[in-house]
Structure 1
Protein backbone atom coordinates (compact mmCIF):
# COMPACT_ATOMS: atom_id res chain seq x y z
CA UNK A 1 0.00 0.00 0.00
CA UNK A 2 2.84 2.39 0.81
CA UNK A 3 4.42 1.72 -2.57
CA UNK A 4 1.11 2.41 -4.35
CA UNK A 5 0.85 5.73 -2.51
CA UNK A 6 4.39 6.66 -3.60
CA UNK A 7 5.76 6.43 -0.07
CA UNK A 8 9.40 5.56 -0.67
CA UNK A 9 11.10 2.94 1.48
CA UNK A 10 14.41 1.17 1.01
CA UNK A 11 12.61 -2.15 0.76
CA UNK A 12 8.99 -3.28 0.33
CA UNK A 13 9.68 -6.95 1.02
CA UNK A 14 8.30 -8.93 3.92
CA UNK A 15 10.63 -8.77 6.89
CA UNK A 16 9.06 -11.77 8.61
CA UNK A 17 9.96 -14.42 6.04
CA UNK A 18 13.16 -13.12 4.40
CA UNK A 19 12.09 -14.59 1.06
CA UNK A 20 12.14 -11.27 -0.79
CA UNK A 21 8.39 -11.40 -1.26
CA UNK A 22 6.47 -8.16 -1.63
CA UNK A 23 4.68 -7.43 1.65
CA UNK A 24 1.07 -7.32 0.57
CA UNK A 25 -1.89 -7.67 2.91
CA UNK A 26 -2.55 -11.21 1.71
CA UNK A 27 1.09 -12.22 2.05
CA UNK A 28 1.67 -10.66 5.46
CA UNK A 29 -1.46 -12.03 7.14
CA UNK A 30 -2.05 -15.36 5.40
CA UNK A 31 0.66 -16.73 3.10
CA UNK A 32 3.93 -15.60 4.70
CA UNK A 33 5.58 -18.68 6.28
CA UNK A 34 5.64 -16.83 9.62
CA UNK A 35 1.91 -15.99 9.41
CA UNK A 36 1.16 -19.52 8.24
CA UNK A 37 2.93 -20.92 11.33
CA UNK A 38 0.81 -18.60 13.51
CA UNK A 39 -2.38 -19.78 11.82
CA UNK A 40 -1.38 -23.45 12.10
CA UNK A 41 -1.14 -22.91 15.85
CA UNK A 42 -4.82 -21.91 15.91
CA UNK A 43 -6.13 -23.95 12.96
CA UNK A 44 -3.83 -26.92 12.28
CA UNK A 45 -5.26 -27.67 8.82
CA UNK A 46 -5.31 -24.04 7.57
CA UNK A 47 -4.09 -23.58 4.00
CA UNK A 48 -3.98 -20.07 2.49
CA UNK A 49 -6.52 -19.36 -0.24
CA UNK A 50 -6.65 -16.85 -3.09
CA UNK A 51 -8.53 -14.11 -1.26
CA UNK A 52 -8.92 -12.67 2.22
CA UNK A 53 -12.61 -13.60 2.15
CA UNK A 54 -11.80 -17.24 1.33
CA UNK A 55 -9.20 -17.33 4.12
CA UNK A 56 -11.68 -15.97 6.66
CA UNK A 57 -14.40 -18.39 5.55
CA UNK A 58 -11.99 -21.34 5.78
CA UNK A 59 -10.88 -20.35 9.27
CA UNK A 60 -14.50 -19.80 10.34
CA UNK A 61 -15.41 -23.27 9.08
CA UNK A 62 -12.49 -24.87 10.91
CA UNK A 63 -13.00 -23.04 14.22
CA UNK A 64 -16.78 -23.54 14.36
CA UNK A 65 -17.27 -21.03 17.17
CA UNK A 66 -19.52 -17.94 17.26
CA UNK A 67 -16.56 -15.72 18.16
CA UNK A 68 -14.43 -16.66 15.14
CA UNK A 69 -13.98 -13.02 14.09
CA UNK A 70 -12.53 -12.17 17.49
CA UNK A 71 -9.98 -14.97 17.03
CA UNK A 72 -9.16 -13.97 13.44
CA UNK A 73 -8.72 -10.34 14.47
CA UNK A 74 -6.51 -11.29 17.44
CA UNK A 75 -4.25 -13.47 15.26
CA UNK A 76 -3.87 -10.75 12.62
CA UNK A 77 -3.20 -8.15 15.31
CA UNK A 78 -0.55 -10.45 16.82
CA UNK A 79 1.19 -10.85 13.45
CA UNK A 80 1.05 -7.07 12.90
CA UNK A 81 2.45 -6.31 16.36
CA UNK A 82 5.23 -8.88 15.93
CA UNK A 83 6.15 -7.25 12.61
CA UNK A 84 6.09 -3.73 14.04
CA UNK A 85 8.06 -4.73 17.14
CA UNK A 86 10.80 -5.93 14.81
CA UNK A 87 10.74 -2.82 12.61
CA UNK A 88 10.44 -0.19 15.33
CA UNK A 89 11.93 -1.84 18.43
CA UNK A 90 14.40 -4.36 17.01
CA UNK A 91 12.66 -7.31 18.71
CA UNK A 92 13.25 -10.44 16.64
CA UNK A 93 10.05 -12.05 15.41
CA UNK A 94 9.26 -15.41 16.96
CA UNK A 95 6.29 -17.72 16.97
CA UNK A 96 6.45 -17.79 20.76
CA UNK A 97 6.10 -13.98 20.93
CA UNK A 98 3.24 -13.97 18.43
CA UNK A 99 1.39 -16.67 20.42
CA UNK A 100 1.90 -14.73 23.66
CA UNK A 101 0.49 -11.56 22.11
CA UNK A 102 -2.45 -13.58 20.76
CA UNK A 103 -3.24 -15.08 24.17
CA UNK A 104 -3.00 -11.68 25.88
CA UNK A 105 -5.28 -10.06 23.30
CA UNK A 106 -7.77 -12.90 23.40
CA UNK A 107 -8.00 -12.62 27.18
CA UNK A 108 -8.75 -8.90 26.81
CA UNK A 109 -11.47 -9.72 24.27
CA UNK A 110 -12.86 -12.34 26.65
CA UNK A 111 -13.26 -9.76 29.41
CA UNK A 112 -15.21 -7.50 27.04
CA UNK A 113 -17.34 -10.33 25.59
CA UNK A 114 -21.11 -10.22 25.70
CA UNK A 115 -22.51 -12.55 28.34
CA UNK A 116 -24.19 -14.87 25.84
CA UNK A 117 -20.79 -15.66 24.31
CA UNK A 118 -19.02 -15.71 27.66
CA UNK A 119 -19.19 -19.41 28.51
CA UNK A 120 -18.30 -20.66 25.04
CA UNK A 121 -15.34 -18.29 24.81
CA UNK A 122 -14.12 -19.13 28.30
CA UNK A 123 -14.26 -22.85 27.49
CA UNK A 124 -12.42 -22.36 24.17
CA UNK A 125 -9.63 -20.35 25.82
CA UNK A 126 -9.21 -22.92 28.59
CA UNK A 127 -9.05 -25.80 26.08
CA UNK A 128 -6.72 -23.83 23.81
CA UNK A 129 -3.96 -23.38 26.36
Structure 2
Protein backbone atom coordinates (compact mmCIF):
# COMPACT_ATOMS: atom_id res chain seq x y z
CA UNK A 1 0.00 0.00 0.00
CA UNK A 2 1.21 3.49 -0.81
CA UNK A 3 1.94 5.43 2.36
CA UNK A 4 3.23 8.94 2.87
CA UNK A 5 7.03 9.02 3.03
CA UNK A 6 7.34 5.25 2.52
CA UNK A 7 9.11 4.51 -0.76
CA UNK A 8 8.93 1.04 -2.28
CA UNK A 9 10.44 -0.16 -5.54
CA UNK A 10 6.92 -0.89 -6.77
CA UNK A 11 3.36 -0.29 -5.61
CA UNK A 12 1.97 -3.17 -7.63
CA UNK A 13 0.24 -6.04 -5.87
CA UNK A 14 2.73 -8.79 -5.09
CA UNK A 15 -0.03 -11.23 -4.16
CA UNK A 16 -1.51 -11.53 -7.64
CA UNK A 17 1.39 -10.28 -9.80
CA UNK A 18 -0.93 -8.11 -11.84
CA UNK A 19 -0.18 -4.65 -13.06
CA UNK A 20 -2.57 -3.27 -10.47
CA UNK A 21 -1.70 -0.75 -7.78
CA UNK A 22 -2.08 -2.25 -4.36
CA UNK A 23 -4.89 -0.21 -2.86
CA UNK A 24 -6.74 -1.09 0.32
CA UNK A 25 -9.75 -2.33 -1.67
CA UNK A 26 -7.56 -4.36 -4.01
CA UNK A 27 -5.49 -5.96 -1.25
CA UNK A 28 -8.43 -6.97 0.94
CA UNK A 29 -11.28 -7.61 -1.51
CA UNK A 30 -10.38 -7.51 -5.21
CA UNK A 31 -7.11 -9.43 -5.41
CA UNK A 32 -7.60 -13.08 -6.42
CA UNK A 33 -5.63 -14.11 -3.33
CA UNK A 34 -7.94 -12.11 -1.05
CA UNK A 35 -11.01 -13.48 -2.82
CA UNK A 36 -9.73 -17.02 -2.22
CA UNK A 37 -9.27 -16.19 1.47
CA UNK A 38 -12.82 -14.80 1.72
CA UNK A 39 -14.26 -17.80 -0.12
CA UNK A 40 -12.80 -19.96 2.66
CA UNK A 41 -15.43 -18.29 4.88
CA UNK A 42 -18.18 -17.17 2.51
CA UNK A 43 -18.27 -18.79 -0.88
CA UNK A 44 -20.99 -16.45 -2.15
CA UNK A 45 -19.33 -13.10 -1.36
CA UNK A 46 -18.19 -11.07 -4.37
CA UNK A 47 -16.21 -7.82 -4.25
CA UNK A 48 -18.40 -4.74 -3.92
CA UNK A 49 -17.78 -1.15 -4.97
CA UNK A 50 -16.83 0.22 -1.53
CA UNK A 51 -15.27 -1.03 1.68
CA UNK A 52 -18.56 -0.44 3.50
CA UNK A 53 -20.48 -2.48 0.94
CA UNK A 54 -17.94 -5.31 1.30
CA UNK A 55 -18.34 -5.37 5.09
CA UNK A 56 -22.12 -5.21 4.81
CA UNK A 57 -22.11 -8.09 2.34
CA UNK A 58 -19.94 -10.15 4.70
CA UNK A 59 -22.22 -9.39 7.63
CA UNK A 60 -25.23 -10.65 5.67
CA UNK A 61 -23.40 -13.76 4.53
CA UNK A 62 -21.89 -14.69 7.92
CA UNK A 63 -25.10 -14.15 9.93
CA UNK A 64 -23.30 -14.08 13.30
CA UNK A 65 -23.10 -11.29 15.90
CA UNK A 66 -19.28 -11.40 15.85
CA UNK A 67 -18.95 -10.74 12.09
CA UNK A 68 -16.70 -7.70 12.66
CA UNK A 69 -14.22 -9.81 14.60
CA UNK A 70 -14.16 -12.32 11.76
CA UNK A 71 -13.79 -9.58 9.14
CA UNK A 72 -10.96 -7.96 11.09
CA UNK A 73 -9.14 -11.28 11.49
CA UNK A 74 -9.40 -12.14 7.79
CA UNK A 75 -8.08 -8.73 6.73
CA UNK A 76 -5.30 -9.04 9.33
CA UNK A 77 -4.43 -12.51 8.00
CA UNK A 78 -4.29 -11.25 4.41
CA UNK A 79 -2.12 -8.31 5.47
CA UNK A 80 0.19 -10.51 7.56
CA UNK A 81 0.57 -13.00 4.70
CA UNK A 82 1.45 -10.11 2.38
CA UNK A 83 3.94 -8.60 4.83
CA UNK A 84 5.57 -11.99 5.42
CA UNK A 85 6.05 -12.26 1.67
CA UNK A 86 7.61 -8.79 1.40
CA UNK A 87 9.71 -8.68 4.56
CA UNK A 88 10.39 -12.34 5.39
CA UNK A 89 10.35 -13.73 1.81
CA UNK A 90 7.78 -16.37 2.79
CA UNK A 91 5.76 -17.53 -0.18
CA UNK A 92 2.11 -16.54 0.28
CA UNK A 93 -0.36 -19.39 0.41
CA UNK A 94 -3.98 -19.87 1.26
CA UNK A 95 -2.94 -22.50 3.83
CA UNK A 96 -0.72 -19.95 5.63
CA UNK A 97 -3.46 -17.31 5.59
CA UNK A 98 -5.97 -19.84 7.01
CA UNK A 99 -3.55 -20.78 9.78
CA UNK A 100 -2.98 -17.15 10.73
CA UNK A 101 -6.75 -16.59 10.71
CA UNK A 102 -7.46 -19.61 12.95
CA UNK A 103 -4.66 -18.75 15.39
CA UNK A 104 -5.71 -15.10 15.66
CA UNK A 105 -9.41 -15.93 15.97
CA UNK A 106 -8.67 -18.25 18.87
CA UNK A 107 -6.71 -15.47 20.58
CA UNK A 108 -9.69 -13.12 20.14
CA UNK A 109 -11.94 -15.75 21.71
CA UNK A 110 -9.66 -16.14 24.72
CA UNK A 111 -9.58 -12.37 25.28
CA UNK A 112 -13.36 -11.97 24.83
CA UNK A 113 -15.90 -11.74 27.61
CA UNK A 114 -17.40 -15.21 27.69
CA UNK A 115 -21.03 -14.25 28.29
CA UNK A 116 -21.18 -12.11 25.15
CA UNK A 117 -19.49 -14.76 22.98
CA UNK A 118 -21.30 -17.93 23.95
CA UNK A 119 -21.61 -19.07 20.30
CA UNK A 120 -18.17 -17.85 19.25
CA UNK A 121 -16.29 -20.97 20.34
CA UNK A 122 -18.92 -23.20 18.74
CA UNK A 123 -18.54 -21.30 15.47
CA UNK A 124 -14.74 -21.59 15.61
CA UNK A 125 -14.89 -25.33 16.30
CA UNK A 126 -17.48 -25.93 13.55
CA UNK A 127 -15.52 -23.80 11.11
CA UNK A 128 -12.31 -25.84 11.16
**What do you get for the CA RMSD once the two structures are aligned?**
1.2
TM-score by length of 2: 0.95
Structure 1 window deviating more from structure 2 (37-46 vs 109-118): it is 109-118
Residues 2 and 23, structure 2, Cα contact 8 Å, conserved in 1: no
TM-score of the superposition, structure 1-length normalised? 0.94
2:123 alignment partner in structure 1: 124
- Superposition deviation, residue 6 in structure 1: 5.4
Q: Pairwise mapping of residues 80-91 of structure 1 onto structure 2 (< 5 A)?
A: 80-91=79-90
Gaps of 5+ in 2: none
Q: Equivalences for 1:1-129 in 2 at 5 Å?
A: 2=2, 5=4, 7-129=6-128
8 Å contact kept, 1:67–1:117: no
Q: Which runs of 4+ in 1 moved over 6 A?
A: none
What 5-or-longer segments of structure 1 have no aligned partner?
none
Tell me the matched-pair count: 128
CA distance in 1, matches of 2:6, 2:76: 23
1:54-94 Cα shifts (integer Å, max 9, x gaps): 00000001101110000000000000000000000000000
